[in-house]
């Protein structure tokens, strides 16, 4: 029973994060937060998987490092868009604008 809970909870977190990412498209910040939630649920799945097979945790530390770098890149893009466009609404900027 405990093994089932260990696998079901992270996958439910992943599915909920995907649902929020797909359904909420108004603000860039809320989409970045939902992406970080998805990455953290994937980290939890990876951590449980590596503990189950008694593998080393070096790969999970690498995954966590790259996810932090991805989060910093997303926040820097958010700051850049707020400085150029004044807000983080998707309706206010276009890809075709310079």
pLDDT tens-digit readout, 14-70: 999 999 888 877 888 888 889 999 999 999 888 888 888 877 778 888 888 999 999
Domains parsed from the chain with CATH numbers: 2-92 (1.10.287.3510)
Which residue has better confidence, 13 or 1? 13
Q: What is the pLDDT of residue 89?
A: 77
Q: What are phi and psi of 33, to 5 degrees?
A: -65, -40
Q: What is the pLDDT of residue 19?
A: 92
SS3 3: helix
Q: What is the pLDDT of residues 76-89, one digit of tens each?
A: 988 888 888 777 77
3-state secondary structure the chain: CHHHHHHHHHHHHHHHHHHHHHHCCCEHHHHHHHHHHHHHHHHHHHHHHHHHCCCCCHHHHHHHHHHHHHHHHHHHHHHHHHHHHCCCEHHHCCCCCC
Mean predicted confidence (pLDDT) in 82-98: 70
pTM over 0.85: no
């Amino acid at each position: 029973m405990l093994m089932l809970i260990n696998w079901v909870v992270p996958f439910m977190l992943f599915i909920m994060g995907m649902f929020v990412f797909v359904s909420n498209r108004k603000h860039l910040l809320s989409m970045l937060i939902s992406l970080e939630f998805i990455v953290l649920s994937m980290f939890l799945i990876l951590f449980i998987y590596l503990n189950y097979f008694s593998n080393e945790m070096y790969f999970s530390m690498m995954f966590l490092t790259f996810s932090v770098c991805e989060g910093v890149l997303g926040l820097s893009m958010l700051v850049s868009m707020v400085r150029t466009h004044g807000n983080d609404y998707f309706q206010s900027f276009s890809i075709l604008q310079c």
